[in-house]
Amino acid sequence: MNGIAKLQPTPLGLGCWPLGGDQWGRQDDRDSLATIQRAFEEGINHFDTAQAYGRGHGEELVGKALHPVRDKAFVATKILYMPKEKVEKEVAFSLKRLQTEIIDLLYIHWPKKGGDLAGMMEAMERLREKGQIRRIGVSNFSVAQMQEVMKAGKIDVHQLCYNVLWRREERETIPFCRQHGISVITYSSLAEGILTGKFGKEPDFAPSDHRKYTLLFEKEVWPKVHETVEKLKSIAIEAKRPLAHCAIRWLVAQDGIVSVLAGSRTPDQVSGNVKSLEGTIDQSVFRAMTAVTDDFAPFIPDAGNIFRWYP
Ligand SMILES: NC(=O)c1ccc[n+]([C@@H]2O[C@H](COP(=O)([O-])OP(=O)(O)OC[C@H]3O[C@@H](n4cnc5c(N)ncnc54)[C@H](OP(=O)(O)O)[C@@H]3O)[C@@H](O)[C@H]2O)c1
């Protein structure tokens, strides 16, 4: 297909939002480039970015770092909702920034209430026919919104927020994806770092770090999150693994998940996360983690998404 064999994404992908440099506090481009390179050297082929990350800068960094190995990398990016006439031009900008002729996976980043989602899907299918994108994804869509775009094209992937603390998509979205052969890719897989277990009773963030507004860090919610993470840590200690390893492997073990995106800001973080795939972790560890967060679920505000963002 399109001259290059269709690559499959590796089970662990590098989430490149923190590398965009504008929403996670200060981030140095040299660290970002080294992180992408380290991920590739350590066997990750899946790189997830978006036009919105650093207003294009995230895509530029991914393009620059992966240019020498482009045909061995699975590059995914996202565009925000726009009228269908604008899609081709916007994607041309992404192609340029990513230094590529074809995007392995292009997502509609967020649905838009009242927007012509099916029209946008039609425009993306045209790009697939033209050979500019290989797969089409949606992200943060409800079942009804998926059904709407499925009238105009084929959804290959749904990227959604899923981790052992945030499991609301188990109710409808993930079962719908399984039923319709839509692959699921997870974001916020470490709950924005919470599932490394590194935050204390009062997390503190740089002024430009969006996490201070994220639902799980809200002051009414955080104490229960912290308490739950302490219980998860005990399970991880007994399994003799870092909590981040257990959290990533808990996701890998779920049915229908093709790739788990973990964001990293430094080469050391990415190496630590790659190690999560080493060795076996007994199923009983995952069952114990699930039981702990079954008890936590009733305490989470049913806000739809962790950003309380409703475009
Ligand atoms: N489709 C969407 O709407 C959407 C939304 C969100 C994310 N995403 C995608 O999914 C990817 C993953 O989600 P995410 O990056 O938001 O959250 P995440 O993967 O849950 O957490 C990433 C953050 O956790 C910390 N971290 C990661 N590995 C660590 C380690 N080994 N040790 C210590 N800290 C570590 C780092 O931040 P600190 O060091 O600063 O703590 C890192 O930036 C994103 O990068 C993006 O590509 C998509």
Residue nearest to atom 22 of ligand 1 (CA): 263
Centre a 10 Å sphere on the Cβ of residue 224 and count the other Cβ atoms it contains.
Answer: 15
pLDDT digits (tens, 9 = 90+) for 146-204: 999 999 999 999 999 999 999 999 999 999 999 999 999 999 999 999 999 999 999 99
> What topology is assigned to 12-193+251-278 in CATH?
TIM Barrel (3.20.20)
The minimum-distance atom of ligand 1 relative to the CA of 24 is: 40
Note whether 293 and 148 are within 8 A (CB): no
Which residues form ligand 1's pocket by a CB distance below 6 Å?
Answer: 15-18, 24, 48, 109, 139-140, 159, 187-193, 196, 198, 244, 261-265, 269, 272-273
Average pLDDT of the segment spanning 117-143: 98
**Sequence letter at residue 174:** I
Map out the domains of the chain as residue ranges: 12-193+251-278
213 CA to middle of ligand 1, Å? 15
Find the farthest-apart pair of alpha carbons in the chain and give their distance in angstroms, rounded: 55
pLDDT of residue 1: 35
d(Cα 48, Cα 154) in Å, to the nearest integer? 20
pLDDT at residue 242 is higher than 90: yes
pLDDT digits (tens, 9 = 90+) for 11-55: 999 999 999 999 999 999 999 999 999 999 999 999 999 999 999
pLDDT of residue 3: 37
Which helix (H) or strand (E) segment holds residue 243: the answer is: helix 243-252
Note whether 9 and 257 are within 8 A (CB): no
pLDDT at residue 4 is higher than 70: no
| Ligand 1 probe mutation, 157, 166, 188, most atoms within 8 A of CB | 188
Residue nearest to atom 41 of ligand 1 (CA): 193
Average pLDDT of the segment spanning 89-117: 98
Q: For the chain, what percent of residues have pLDDT higher than 70?
A: 98
Token reading at 113: 């209430």
Residue nearest to atom 11 of ligand 1 (CA): 15
What number of helices (H) and strands (E) belong to the chain?
Answer: 10, 8
CA 130 to each of CA 59, 101, 134: distance values in angstroms, whole numbers, following the listed order: 21, 11, 10
210 CA to middle of ligand 1, Å? 12
pLDDT of residue 7: 84
pLDDT of residue 301: 95
165 CA to middle of ligand 1, Å? 14
Residue nearest to atom 30 of ligand 1 (CA): 269
Residue nearest to atom 13 of ligand 1 (CA): 188
Note whether 241 and 235 are within 8 A (CB): no
Find where tokens 């590529």 sit.
100
pLDDT of residue 2: 37
**Sequence letter at residue 73:** A
Q: Which band of pLDDT confidence, cut at 50, 70 and 90, is reported for residue 225?
A: very high
| Ligand 1 probe mutation, 189, 264, 310, most atoms within 8 A of CB | 264
pLDDT of residue 6: 73
